[in-house]
Amino acid sequence: MSWIPPDLSQACAVYTNVTTCAPSTFLFLQLVTNLFGQSLDGHSDFPNFFDHELNGGFSNSFFTGEKSHEAGEEYDFIVIGAGSAGCVVANRLSEIHGWKVLLLEAGDEEPIVADVPAFAPMLQASSIDWGYSTQPSHKSCLARDDGRCTWARGKVMGGSSTINYMIYIRGHPKDYDEWEEMGNHGWSFADVLPYFIKSEDNRNPEKIEQYYHGVGGYQTVEIFPYQDINTIALLDAYLELGLDKLDQNSDKLIGTSLLQHTARDGKRLSTNVAFIRPIRYKRNNLVVRTNSHVTRILIDEKNKAAYGVEYLRHGKMVKVLAKKEVIVSAGSINSPVILMLSGIGPADHLQQHGIKVLKDSAVGFNLQDHTTIDGVVMQLTNYTATTVSDENREQDTYKWKQTHKGPLASTGPLQTNAFVQTKYEKSYDRPDIQYSWDAINVANFYTDPILTYNTAVLPLSYYDGMMIRPILLNPESRGRVLLNDTDPVFGEPLIYANTFTEEIDLLRMVDGIKQSLNMERTKTFQHLGIRLNQTPLPACQHLHFGSDEYWACICMAYTTTIFHPVGTCKMGPKHDRAAVVDPELKVYGIHNLRVIDSSIFPKIMRGNTNAPTIMVAEKGSDFIKETWMHKKNGEDTESGNFFSSFNVNDDFFNKFK
């Protein structure tokens, strides 16, 4: 594969003073593409590949890392989506040598460019992003193009763990206790902590409370090897304001920390690199197939049992069969789409699209996200600004390529984290606002904030301003995902985020903004000359800068997100009419079908969602093993499957070959 960077030509078509539209930006993207645009997967970097796949000969599959195949193949398990959850599930199920596992990914192989932490901005809107946007709303994204906010989702091996900002935060323990209180037995913090620990390989034992952490797991987490002067200043300022420095993956969140990330030795460690790459050509029972867009799950209408998957690959529709289970791990946008295309979802919506209803279910509802904003900017002096010449930026790029060190081995000020409470939070120990600090070019932003957002592709390491991002952790607003009206199969899903439809969400954000401004008053900021830029933004310049009304306008006009959609296939007890899956992640009303990803979260946690998604995949994999390996009701089900109870023989499978 060859990675294609974001296309800036349309955004930069009109002459502009925004430097991200300068020729040097296009030249830099070309350099990055040439150096890092290819993928390691499927190449000779993996010597076991020769023994396992080629047996002395070369074929097209060598260059793609995939096996040739025929329609009608049979597997024990089919996993849809090789993202934060799917890679984990495929790894854990293929641990059982007698089980044959197929992992399907709609996107391509993971490119080397994703390894570079500071390059995270240029991954969004590139060839490995689904490129989704929300539907227009009267309360959010008002200043964005067409009133729509972009929602980046990874279309690549590793999914969104390949394009995110790598932050490893689990949420508050009471978030999971709350899940159990909602009727999800076995999902308390005490129940899920072992699964966080299981996958983790923590590289900073001196910085953590070791009771809550693990070593030796597949997923390495670490503090980046590089911090600039502003990153350290942010920590100092938080401490000056009275926040405690904590391990924010323990039992306390309110405070500050230098974040750990899903990285290893200055490189991103997506779930693809962590869980799939080490085993991909070593386990004969695991087949990974990229560029495979699933169109529906095959479900026997009479017995209401999933028995396979249909997908489009290289222009050819292929059917594959699952003897035991189909696992949907396509994420909170695509998992509900796949279920609905398969006849599982709101009956009225499916009927509108001519889809036969197999199970009337609340699929696509309960959408939640962590909203943030553009618009609160701290300006730096020449003393702390980290901007460099084009030549120095190129030198740093080659330095990272050779050593994985230097400014590109981190995400700039985004490494610093804080959790706080607003005056609206009722719990005594859970935060409702998180603060991230994003690197920006101040002149660009105030020249054209929307164009600056649309062309933000340069490394996070170089900046002369910092955007304070208050993040709403426990939104009351709920959205919905619907099928595309024109093309429900391949068209972009309709995402109704409904951000700020509940007034309390807007009130919390405004209070979070006002609290963040206290940073300017610290001795640390004053000593370094870091100050609030008080230039009103165009959409809100009719209001008095700094007033509650102004900040509320900023929230609704310059809405954005840190890309944490969850909840659209809600987990819940049988009596919960909004629940799509049960506490063992089985889809209600359909046998042999589970959803294992962030879409099952009944309520979003107060922290970043990637680590919890990995945890759900670890726990969900054990549910599957318990179902098919352990004795239940005196019967050993390890070698059996659902179809045996209906006397389904080989002829049943043969007719689909």
- CB burial of 548-573 (b: ≥16 within 10 Å; e: otherwise) equals eebbbbbbbbbbbbbbbbbbbbbbbe
SS (H, E, C) 490-556: CCCCEEECCCCCCHHHHHHHHHHHHHHHHHHHCHHHHHHCCEECCCCCHHHCCCCCCCHHHHHHHHH
CA distance 491 to 638: 40
Task: For residue 420, say whether it is annotated as part of any ligand binding site.
Answer: no
DSSP 592-655: TEEE-SGGG-SS--SS-SHHHHHHHHHHHHHHHHHHHHSEETTEE-TT--GGGGGT--HHHHHT
Is there a contact between 286 and 267 (Cβ–Cβ < 8 Å)?
no
Classified as helix, coil or strand, 332 is helix
| Active-site annotation holds for 564 | yes
Cβ atoms within 10 Å of 491's Cβ, excluding its own = 12
Rg (CA), the chain: 24
Look-up of token digits 């304001």: 241
CA–CA gap between residue 178 and residue 176 (Å, rounded): 5
Alpha-carbon distance 502 to 476, whole Å?
Answer: 6
- Pairing relation of β-strands 593-595 and 316-328? parallel
Catalytic residue from among 172, 213, 261, 564: 564
Q: Are residues 516 and 460 in contact, defined by beta-carbon separation less than 8 angstroms?
A: no
Q: Are 328 and 80 a contacting pair, CB within 8 Å?
A: yes
> Collapsing DSSP states into helix, strand and coil, what is residue 106?
coil
Given a contact cutoff of 8 angstroms between Cβ atoms, the answer to whether 561 and 149 are in contact is yes
Of 40, 42, 38, 45, which Cα lies nearest the Cα of 53?
Answer: 42
Apex CA 356: angle with CA 350 and CA 362, to 5°?
Answer: 40
Q: What's the full length of the chain, in residues?
A: 657
User: CA-CA distances (angstroms) from residue 42 to 199, 285, 462, 646?
Assistant: 25, 17, 34, 41
566 annotated to a ligand binding site:
no
Structure tokens at 67: 């096996």
Distance CA(33)–CA(6), nearest Å, equals: 11
3-state secondary structure of 159: helix
Q: Which residues are annotated as a binding site for FAD?
A: 156, 294
Question: Residues marked as binding?
Answer: 156, 294
By annotation, the residues acting in catalysis are: 564
